[in-house]
Amino acid sequence: MSHRIVVRAAETGDVDGIYALLRPYAQNQIILQRSKDDLFQHLQEFIVAEYDGILVGTAALHIYGSNIAEIRSLVVKPSHQGKRIGHLLVEGCEKLALQLHVAQVFALTYVDRFFTNMGYDVVAKESLPHKIWTVCVHCKKFADCDEIAVQKRLSDAPIKPMEVMPILNVTVKSQA
Interacting residues toward ligand COA by CB under 6 A: 25, 30-31, 74-76, 81-87, 107, 109-111, 113-114, 117
Least distance (Å) from ligand COA to the CB of residue 80?
A: 7
Q: Which is nearer to ligand COA, 25 or 101 (CB)?
A: 25
Least distance (Å) from ligand COA to the CB of residue 75?
A: 4
Least distance (Å) from ligand COA to the CB of residue 21?
A: 8
**CB closest to ligand COA, residue no:** 86
Q: Which is nearer to ligand COA, 111 or 154 (CB)?
A: 111
Q: Which is nearer to ligand COA, 19 or 25 (CB)?
A: 25
Q: Which is nearer to ligand COA, 31 or 128 (CB)?
A: 31
Cα 172 from chain centroid (whole Å): 39
| Residues whose CB is less than 8 angstroms from the CB of residue 3 and which lie 6 or more positions away in sequence, other chains included | 51, 52
User: 8-13: which pairs have CB atoms within 8 A and are 24 or more residues apart?
Assistant: 8/47, 8/48, 8/50, 9/44, 9/46, 9/47, 9/48, 10/43, 10/46, 10/47, 10/48, 10/58, 11/43, 12/40, 12/43
